Each structure stands twice: as C-alpha cells, then as structure tokens.
Structure 1
C-alpha cells in the first residue's frame, strides 16, 4: 500500500508540478502570490518525483545509500529550521525576502527534520530481508 501511495504522489508531482507547488505556496505562505519562482523550480519538482519513483522501484539496492541523505537533510532542518528554510526559499525563489511564512512552517520544518533524522538513525533491516518476513 505504501508503495502505491508513493507512486501516485510521484506521478502527480511529475505530471503537475505547478499545481503541487501552488498548493504548497497557498498553505505555507501568508502572501502566496508574492514569490517569483526560479526557472528551475518546477523542473526540480519533476526530478524529485522521478527520484521517488526510482527509489520505490530500486528500494533494496538504493536504501543503504539514500538513508544517510535523510540525516544530512534532517539534522539542519531540526537544529536550525529558519536558516534551512532561508536556503530552500533562496534556491526556489528569486525574491525569498518577499515571502512571509505562516506561523506553523518553522515548527513543522523542525518536526520533519526530526522525522528524517529518526529514519536515518533507525536500526532497521534492508528491504529484501524485511520483505521476506512479511
């Protein structure tokens, strides 16, 4: 079920990245129309969808290499969410200073960073052996 859900989300992100990004802007920004996206923002969203598809289909071989990336992203999001968001907004928008975040975004970034760090540090078995036990 998790695999199907991830595939559906990835396909939507590949097919309609503008809608996904606009939805996120409406929910996370006080002034959702103020951000001017960089030319690579939507292609990078598509690339993210492709990366998720690749990870879903190559889980067993890819997970050991991908797992440390969760820690690399999660630690700064957990410890310093405001600078983390500043870098993310500067990467995606030409005018990040014009964007006002809603009050829940910084705590949610910290929480998501914590979740990513837990995933990176969780002692679990790789996909092949875990799947054989199900």
Structure 2
C-alpha cells in the first residue's frame, strides 16, 4: 500500500512538480511569494519523482548506485539536515538571502530524509524476485511431476 502511494506521489511530481514545490514553500518559508525560483527547480522535482518511481517499480533490479545515493541523502537529511537545507536553497532559489525560513524546516527536512530512506528500503524489499529462484521452483515442480508419473 505504501509503495503504491509513493509511486503515485512520484508520478504526480513528474507530471505536476509546481504544486509540490509550492506546497513545500508554504511549509518551509515565511515569505513563499517572494522566492525567486531557478528554472531548474522544476527539473529537480521531476528528477526526484522519477527516482522514486523507478526504484519502487524496478525493485531489486533498479540501480544500486541511485538507491545508494538516495539512501545517503536520506541519512544525511536525518542526521545533519542544515548543510543540505542550505545547499538545496542555493540550487533552487536565486535569492537565498531574501528567504525567511520557518522554524520547523529542520524537522521537515528530517522527515524528507525518512521518506528517502523509506523509498530506498521499499525498493530493496520488493519488486520482482531474481530469475534464478523462479527457475529453481519450476525445476522442483517438474521433478515432482516426473516422480508422480513414474509411480
């Protein structure tokens, strides 16, 4: 169920990144209307959604590099969010000196880190099983059928 919700969120973020960014601005900034977003902000949000969907749909067959990077970003956000908040503000906004950050930005960043870690864990625990295990099950069933027929 959680996997499906996160895939849905990722798809929404790919198709309509602006409402997601605006919601985050309303949560994190005292003056969201004054923020001057860089053009690549929408692309970054779409990329985040794409990573969510790709990892959650592909499961264990997804990229271990992408999964590791998302997990590292999540762990960093949980443990030391302030440097990541500063970096992301410089990447997303042209006027970082004018931004008035809400006091709950650090806990919100930690929650985002938990979300990243959740996506990483769900991508490793789900998805399709390796083909070798499926093949061995088919082989066991074929052996059982042969044993039954020979009796």
**Is the TM value for this pair above 0.5?**
yes
CA contact (8 A) 1:55 1:63 kept: yes
Q: Which runs of 5+ in 2 are unaligned?
A: 134-151
> 1:84 is matched with which residue?
84
Distance in 1, Cα, partners of 2:71 & 2:16: 29
Q: Larger helix proportion, structure 1 or 2?
A: 2
Structure 1 pair 109–63 and aligned structure 2 pair: CA distance change class (3 A): same
CA contact (8 A) 2:55 2:67 kept: no
Distance in 1, Cα, partners of 2:68 & 2:19: 30
Q: Within 5 A, what are the aligned runs for 1:1-134?
A: 1-62=1-62, 64-110=64-110, 112-113=112-113, 126-127=125-126, 128=128
C-alpha displacement of 1:19: 1.1
Q: Which runs of 5+ in 1 are unaligned?
A: none
When normalised by structure 2's length, the TM-score is 0.68
Distance in 2, Cα, partners of 1:65 & 1:77: 18
When normalised by structure 1's length, the TM-score is 0.75
Structure 1 pair 40–70 and aligned structure 2 pair: CA distance change class (3 A): closer
C-alpha displacement of 1:37: 0.6
Provide the aligned length of Structure 1 versus Structure 2: 127
Indicate the RMSD between aligned Cα atoms, in angstroms.
2.8
